[in-house]
Amino acid sequence: MHDLAGYDLIVVGSGFFGLTVAERVAEGLGKRVLVLERRDHIGGNAYSEAEPETGIEIHRYGAHLFHTSNERVWEYVNRFTDFTGYQHRVFARAGDQVYAFPMNLALINQFFGKAHSPDEARALIAEQAAEVETSEATNLEEKAISLIGRPLYEAFVKGYNEKQWQTDPKNLDASIITRLPVRYTYDNRYFNDTHEGLPVDGYAAWLERMADHENIDVVLETDFFEVRDRIPAGTPVVYTGPLDRYFDHSEGELGWRTLDFEMSVEPTGDFQGTSVINYNDADVPFTRILEFRHMHPEREYPKDKTVIVREYSRFAESGDEPYYPINTPDNRAKLERYRELARKETANRNVLFGGRLGTYKYLDMHMAIGSALTMYSNRLVPYFAEGRALSGTEAEE
């Protein structure tokens, strides 16, 4: 059993948030850091590996696409990896047709079978959306129709959300959809950020470089809750696991969505012609198919085999991997109570809470890294360099 004494900081979890904190404290402050990871690999859900039969790099926990407009984050991540010029584009299957996605002028013209100018397309969608006044929408279905009209809603939103939430959109809160972007151009680039790409050598190599520091020790297959009694009193801890689990679910379990993945090797060099196709029809059980070879067209992959992954969405049960927090009044009320407990834990035991699980927030990779850099600058540098107390929670930053 690894000795937990002698460290200046203990980080629980080795996803992007945890590794960023560990690397900054080790390199920037010269402190000794121990990272505890319950899985058999570092990197959290961003972990990637070569599929044995084909050598194609797959993302074990679903597609991870790096993009950011945060220059501080972009400068930081480029210390550990170069990026390809990959630009993510998604396609959506509805019925027997495949459309460019997000909704744009190409989709509108293809769907309605007529060439519209941007002004004509705006007028068409406005006319169809007039069926429901946005301010009067009481559920997801009404909200979506008020934004894009019934035809596009029924083809591209209704079935997909039924599968995503396992609930009729009439019974989902309108707030789930803040907006449904429609581009009145032929631009089908999925992200609008300044910087986008995939790590040249893959995510695993990037993550391993972050952890490869003389002041960092990583211990895998170690459950924090089984060893926390052995952590010396007063040692600061950055916890990135589930917030409710830390407090033994004392305020109730927070709800999550989870994903199931069905991977197969197909006897063809190209299964679908692109990285991601969403399946919008309710009678198709999966939400999308990923084909990872298309994320790295610059690589030499087999020409007679490819790897695809069908992705399914459902409510997480006990023991499932949590992916997406569920924004309901009940969960928000629990979260407020947990945040109060977290504030007390920070003040009393030097524990900071961060990351997607530790704050019950959905964070893209660049957001997790940015949040970790903020915690480092605002909490950990003052603590180690100036002797100031740790206070507050990352959830409020």
Catalytic residues: 179, 183, 257, 288, 311, 362, 364
Could you count the other beta carbons within 10 Å of the beta carbon of residue 257?
18
Question: Tokens 């006990």 correspond to what residue?
Answer: 318
Specify which residues 97 forms β-bridges with: 94
Q: List C-alpha distances in Å: 117 to 105, 121, 223, 266.
A: 8, 6, 58, 41
Instruction: Judge contact between 57 and 200, C-beta under 8 A.
Output: no
| Angle in degrees, 0-180, between the axes of helices 140-148 and 118-129, rounded to the nearest 10 | 150
Reduced to 3 states, what is the DSSP secondary structure of residue 130? Answer: coil
Reduced to 3 states, what is the DSSP secondary structure of residue 69? Answer: coil
Distance CA 299, CA 295 (A): 9
The shares of helix, strand and coil residues in the chain, as percent rounded to the nearest 5, are 40, 20, 45
Is omega for the bond preceding 322 within 30 degrees of 0, making it cis?
Answer: no
Helix boundaries (H) for the chain: 16-29, 71-77, 105-112, 118-129, 140-148, 150-153, 159-165, 203-211, 224-227, 243-246, 329-349, 355-359, 365-375, 381-386
Question: Tokens 């040249």 correspond to what residue?
Answer: 200
Instruction: Judge contact between 97 and 110, C-beta under 8 A.
Output: yes
Q: List C-alpha distances in Å: 203 to 13, 173, 193, 364, 365.
A: 16, 36, 20, 14, 11
